Structure 1
Amino acid sequence: MHNRLTLLASSILLASISGGTAQAALYAVDPGIPGDRAYPLDSGNKTGYAAWYQDTHGRTLDLCLSKAVSSRVAGAPGAPTYMCILNPAPGEFDDTQAIVFPTNFPDETFWFAADGSITDAATGIDLGYGAAIEAAFNGEVADGNQQSFARIRIRVDVPAPGVYTVTHPYGVDVFNVTQEEFTDTGGTNAINMTRDIGIGQSGDYTGALKGDIGPFLRSVNGPYTETNPETSQLEKFVGDPNLEEQVTGSPFNTNYLRIQGPNGIDIRSDTFAVSGKLSAVDLPAPALVKRATYSRGNVDGAVVAHQDVFTMAPPPPGTVNFLDSAGTAVTMTEANSTGSWFGQSAVSPSSIPVSLQVTADNHLAIPTILPPTTVSVPLTDLVTITRAEYSLGNGRLTIDASTSDRMTPPNLTAYSGRSGALIGELIGGANKTLSPTSGTIPPATIRVVSANGGSDTEEVVIVP
């Protein structure tokens, strides 16, 4: 498990931070032509937004603009229990009238939203949490101002200064509330973080694919079917935002909120209010291969080998398999409904390069999904840099690296950075080394590439 760990030196609002994430959070976004996107798909109401996002579990969510209401929670006059989040705004959006872009349109809507909270009178903890794929505007509600982003928001009233750890479905965040900050705020919103990833120009909605959100959380009691009063069509939703329910879908299997802090604070909640409308668009099953590597060596005169494949794809009842280098089908195993699959073959590849065929099938979980998806990926050795060190004293860079092919070790070549200048070829067998005089300026990182396709990147350690 990899958790996003954010250390905040203060409780100042943290917004629009971008960066890589370990999981492939979302898989695909509607590639429609900007300005020609519509919602619903069969209407003439152009919004300019992407119609849908798909996650790595295979679920596709439309931009949620339906006025279907919950059959589980009764509404009140002027306050319908919509299955989508449609917040009225005086002078801008009247939810009692037809949604028309841009003259009567919400200033924020969602493809997905999940809200959770922890309130504990005994400790004084009051935590609010939000995770969303949001549609908003850069300025007024107008064509050309559309934008989307993946959001994580955490706000906490705390009873004392100290270090607080918040575990949530999409990672772990750590906050240090100083005595000065606690004195200034009295503990109210002493933790106040918003992380928006993927904000782009109008018409480019790919940025949210790199955010923390995904796969989409969904109620363990869903999906729910409701009738759209404007179209009389039945629509399905992954949750009911008017209810707090247990969920599934966390890429880390952390389908809960938990806060730990000073003086033994440790409180947990496992319910969320979730909104998301399942799309009628049929899309292939996701299949995202994270790694396909082989290892082999000689043990007591016999060749011992294995081919290892790691893939992100829909969890069971979906299935994943791969054809190894000998063409033998290998059934892969999934971990705890997270969508992370692993499979291993004991075959030694007879030649390199060679490609493996990985197939994901999710029609049992989502009957409308298209036929299984098969992708071809190269099988490579696994390269590991064990030392990347630069000496200020003699200006010498030392690189030690190894290859997982210990039978016929391929050449290993070092480069400065991910795609920088050639440094040189490492010398040795499966464990190789290189120690050139590199001058007065060390590289920040080095990359070692194998002739059999493997590679590794490491930061250079500076020593006297």
Structure 2
Amino acid sequence: MHRPLPKPLAVAIFASMLQLPAQAALYAVDPGPYIQANGKFAAWYQDSHGRTLDLCLTKAVSSRVAGAPGAPAYMCTLLPTPGVFDDTQPIVFPTNFPDEAFWFTADAAIVDAARGIDLSFGTAIEAAFAAEEPAEGDQVSFARVRIRVDVPVAGTYVVTHPYGVDVFDVPAGGRRAINMTRDIGIAGAGDFSGALKGDVGPFLRSVNGPYIENGERFIGDPNLEERVTGSPFNTNFVRIEGPNGIDLRTELFSISGKLSDVARPTPLMPQRSTYSRHMENGDLRAQQDMFVLAPPPPATVTLTSQTPNLSLTEANGTGTWYAQSAINPDPGTVLQINADNSVAIPSSSATNAALPLTDLVTITRAEYSLARGELTLVASSSDETSPPALTARTGNGTVLGNLSGDGAVKSLTANPRPLPPAKVQVDSAYGGSDSEDVVLVP
């Protein structure tokens, strides 16, 4: 199910992907050096919730599910391949090494014969080889999302899963009428950072875990089907909706992943730190807004650059944190944020980050008249008490000039030639910035 193809898999019927809010999936990868025991792959990946998973090569077996003769109930997804990898023998690179290995896997299925639906969902952080068989210098890794579905009739089908929503326009029903594989991160040997840009992460994990076998800890048991947590969108399920009222879902997954013993800092990803201020009935009204991504509770996130310190609040277990302060800032203020995940992961060290506090710039008009060859811009700063200078430029960086006006709302008329710009950007002297597509009018 997880094997990469020599060329991109043709997607049978893949119309579009609904864009969900930006997520931080994976946070870091082992920078090396890469050792023979791991097949010269990265030893670990860390997700944005702070969990770090080793490349799962141990032969620990489940104490919850009995294996069959010749088919042990491994806690890692170890796939024997005749002539390549014999799981009954010691793992040695490259002579007896899996042609597919995994830092993480999660699989789910929905089967409803009466409705004509047979769905398989699989996601993984995978280690493989460009030419499929183990070889020095051929190592690749990637984040995979795979959806395959037998459907009864033509129509639009929507599949919601822990890492997003995919929409398929199916012209005819049949076996694997939906057949999508999205692999992100494949690169040359020694570069395993590409998977950090994939859709997969944070790692799903069993609500009943972690499990311990032979002193090793696992986020799930791939021999079981269990409910999970960890979706960045709080969609810890797979659901398919389609024609004629089709609406089926499952919350059960098979999960594999070995928790690492490596000590890592708490992930902390600043998203936005902006302020606004204005006068109201002669009184100054100031507001600071801080948004960061970090592990969800029991982790804590604290603004430490004001007295008393201000605790940020987490939204819904997805790791989205927010706080608001009424302190009046000076332009150029730098906030200090602390994130600590040591309660959930004792080996995790606290992380501090500096967040420049900027105003919030909003472009309300970006319009180009084809007849006049004239661009009209209107933009504003959230700092109404001390409005900053605003500078406009095109998407390729060409400066158009400064916006003018007495208050926080300023405007500019320019004549970029010979063609209108596709985008414009307005930058504030206080650090804020906004960009917009240019609207073309006669």
Determine whether 1:454 maps to 2:432: yes
Q: Is the 8 A contact 2:47 2:203 kept in 1?
A: yes
**Structure 2 letter corresponding to 1:119:** V
Of 87, 101, 109, the match for 2:93: 101
Determine whether 1:261 maps to 2:242: yes
Question: Identity of counterpart residues, as a percentage?
Answer: 62
- Once the two structures are TM-superposed, the CA of residue 323 in structure 1 deviates from its matched residue by 2.8
Determine whether 1:218 maps to 2:210: no
Q: Following the alignment from structure 1 to structure 2, what is the Cα–Cα distance between the partners of residues 397 and 136? A: 52
Of 369, 373, 392, the match for 1:391: 369
Of 149, 156, 162, the match for 1:156: 149
Residues 337-356 of structure 1: CA distance to partner in whole angstroms, max 9, x if unpaired?
1011111111110x221110
Of 78, 81, 87, the match for 2:79: 87
- Once the two structures are TM-superposed, the CA of residue 382 in structure 1 deviates from its matched residue by 1.0
Corresponding residue number in structure 2 for 1:305: 286
Q: Is the 8 A contact 1:287 1:313 kept in 2?
A: yes
- Once the two structures are TM-superposed, the CA of residue 385 in structure 1 deviates from its matched residue by 1.6
Q: Is the 8 A contact 1:58 1:314 kept in 2?
A: yes
Q: Is the 8 A contact 2:296 2:319 kept in 1?
A: yes
Corresponding residue number in structure 1 for 2:120: 128
Q: Is the 8 A contact 1:128 1:154 kept in 2?
A: yes
Q: Is the 8 A contact 1:137 1:147 kept in 2?
A: yes
Of 399, 408, 420, the match for 2:386: 408
- Once the two structures are TM-superposed, the CA of residue 393 in structure 1 deviates from its matched residue by 1.6
- Once the two structures are TM-superposed, the CA of residue 415 in structure 1 deviates from its matched residue by 1.4
Q: Is the 8 A contact 1:11 1:176 kept in 2?
A: no
Corresponding residue number in structure 2 for 1:437: 415
**Structure 2 letter corresponding to 1:358:** I
Corresponding residue number in structure 2 for 1:369: 348
**Structure 2 letter corresponding to 1:374:** N
- Once the two structures are TM-superposed, the CA of residue 327 in structure 1 deviates from its matched residue by 4.4
Gaps of 5+ in 2: 1-9
Determine whether 1:346 maps to 2:326: yes
- Once the two structures are TM-superposed, the CA of residue 440 in structure 1 deviates from its matched residue by 3.0
Mapping 1:309-328, distance limit 5 Å: 309-324=290-305, 326-328=306-308
**Structure 1 letter corresponding to 2:24:** A
**Structure 1 letter corresponding to 2:293:** M
Q: Following the alignment from structure 2 to structure 1, what is the Cα–Cα distance between the partners of residues 20 and 326? A: 33
TM-score normalised over the length of structure 1: 0.89
Determine whether 1:235 maps to 2:216: yes
Aligned with 1:53: secondary structure?
Answer: strand
Determine whether 1:202 maps to 2:189: yes
Aligned with 1:190: secondary structure?
Answer: strand
**Structure 2 letter corresponding to 1:214:** G
Residues 401-460 of structure 1: CA distance to partner in whole angstroms, max 9, x if unpaired?
21111111111111111x511111111221222120112312222111111111112222
**Structure 2 letter corresponding to 1:334:** E
Q: Following the alignment from structure 1 to structure 2, what is the Cα–Cα distance between the partners of residues 107 and 444? A: 46
Of 123, 137, 142, the match for 2:129: 137
Aligned with 1:208: secondary structure?
Answer: helix
Residues 152-172 of structure 1: CA distance to partner in whole angstroms, max 9, x if unpaired?
111111111111111100111
Structure 2 CA distance for partners of 1:13 and 1:162, relative to 1, 3 Å: closer
Q: Following the alignment from structure 1 to structure 2, what is the Cα–Cα distance between the partners of residues 299 and 363? A: 43
Q: Is the 8 A contact 1:21 1:210 kept in 2?
A: no
Q: Is the 8 A contact 1:223 1:238 kept in 2?
A: yes
Determine whether 1:26 maps to 2:15: no
Structure 2 CA distance for partners of 1:20 and 1:340, relative to 1, 3 Å: closer
- Once the two structures are TM-superposed, the CA of residue 462 in structure 1 deviates from its matched residue by 2.1
- Once the two structures are TM-superposed, the CA of residue 194 in structure 1 deviates from its matched residue by 0.7
Gaps of 5+ in 1: 1-9, 39-43, 228-233
Structure 2 CA distance for partners of 1:268 and 1:323, relative to 1, 3 Å: same
Aligned with 2:195: secondary structure?
Answer: helix
TM-score normalised over the length of structure 2: 0.94
Aligned with 1:45: secondary structure?
Answer: helix
Q: Following the alignment from structure 1 to structure 2, what is the Cα–Cα distance between the partners of residues 385 and 56? A: 32
Q: Following the alignment from structure 1 to structure 2, what is the Cα–Cα distance between the partners of residues 410 and 368? A: 45
Determine whether 1:173 maps to 2:162: no
Structure 2 CA distance for partners of 1:267 and 1:52, relative to 1, 3 Å: same
Corresponding residue number in structure 2 for 1:360: 339
Q: Following the alignment from structure 1 to structure 2, what is the Cα–Cα distance between the partners of residues 315 and 240? A: 23
Q: Following the alignment from structure 2 to structure 1, what is the Cα–Cα distance between the partners of residues 328 and 398? A: 34
Q: Following the alignment from structure 1 to structure 2, what is the Cα–Cα distance between the partners of residues 98 and 52? A: 21
- Once the two structures are TM-superposed, the CA of residue 11 in structure 1 deviates from its matched residue by 5.0
- Once the two structures are TM-superposed, the CA of residue 47 in structure 1 deviates from its matched residue by 1.8
Structure 2 CA distance for partners of 1:334 and 1:363, relative to 1, 3 Å: same
Residues 140-160 of structure 1: CA distance to partner in whole angstroms, max 9, x if unpaired?
321111111111111111111
Structure 1 runs (4+) deviating above 6 angstroms are: none
Q: Is the 8 A contact 1:13 1:194 kept in 2?
A: no
